[in-house]
Amino acid sequence: MSKTDTTKTGRERLAEERARQARGERNRKIGIILAVVVALALVAGGGFALVQSQSGDDTKPTDSLAGSKVINSPVKGVRQWTDLSRDHTNAEQKYLMNPPVGGAHHPAWSTCGIYDKEIPNNHTVHSLEHGAVWITTNDKVSAGDIATLKKVASQDYMIMSKVPSQSSPIVLSAWGLQLRVDKASDPRIQQFVKAYLQGPQTPEPGAACSGAYDPATGKTGGQM
């Protein structure tokens, strides 16, 4: 082997060694960066979990509570939704909350009254727009509580019906407002009715609550 070949081989070996060292240093820096990123993610995740654990159900919305906030005056624990559509449409609507408290609805409002069955949401939302309060129950409510609620609902601008799919046993709804309770003895039921039956939240106070759609027969009248 010539002197030139020996020198060239040494240079190649030196270049290879330097390249290997550079790769090692680069990999070390990447490892440090990744470790820092993972650590920050763990800290952030732990903080988020802590906030969630301290916040409770009021700040952890479910599908039916999304977009709402809790207001505690004049009735404690009432949920409020704002900027609800008041459009009229004959199309069936998929509401965010169950039962609904507002949104686009049928031109024919439900006749106020007491019904021992489910009634159409899109008609009844229109009644809420007119200032009605809607009491709904699921299948967990006792016969005694049903009787008590019917007494509450036996006044003008009140509707009572079944909603088996609702998560709470008893729900009171007005336009943009909702209260969920477990028992008919809860004093907030009367408070809610007093505050929101034809209350300040009503978009069309004094508008009719009869003569349009009759949930008992499924027929539509002419007062629209």
Q: What is the pLDDT of residues 178-193, one digit of tens each?
A: 999 999 999 999 999 9
List the structure tokens of 62.
């479910």
Residue 40 confidence (pLDDT): 57
Residue 58 confidence (pLDDT): 39
Under the phi-then-psi rule, with left for phi > 0, alpha for psi from -120 to 50, and beta for the rest, what region is 145? alpha
Are the beta carbons of 202 and 86 closer than 8 angstroms? no
| pLDDT-flagged residues of the chain (< 70) | 1-64, 222-224
Q: Which amino acid is at 161?
A: S
Task: Report how far residue 142's alpha carbon sits from residue 136's, in angstroms, rounded to the nearest whole number.
Answer: 13
Task: Report how far residue 169's alpha carbon sits from residue 138's, in angstroms, rounded to the nearest whole number.
Answer: 5
State the DSSP H helix or E strand holding residue 79, giving kind and residue range, or none if neither: strand 78-80
Are the beta carbons of 105 and 93 closer than 8 angstroms? yes
Q: What does the DSSP 8-state code read for residue 184?
A: T
Residue 151 confidence (pLDDT): 98
- In the chain, where the domains are located: 3-55, 69-220
Is the CATH code 3.40.30 the one for domain 69-220?
Answer: yes
List the structure tokens of 26.
């680069």
The whole-model pTM stands at: 0.72
Residue 53 confidence (pLDDT): 36
Q: What is the pLDDT of residues 8-55, one digit of tens each?
A: 565 665 556 566 566 666 666 666 666 655 555 554 544 433 333 333
Are the beta carbons of 170 and 145 closer than 8 angstroms? yes
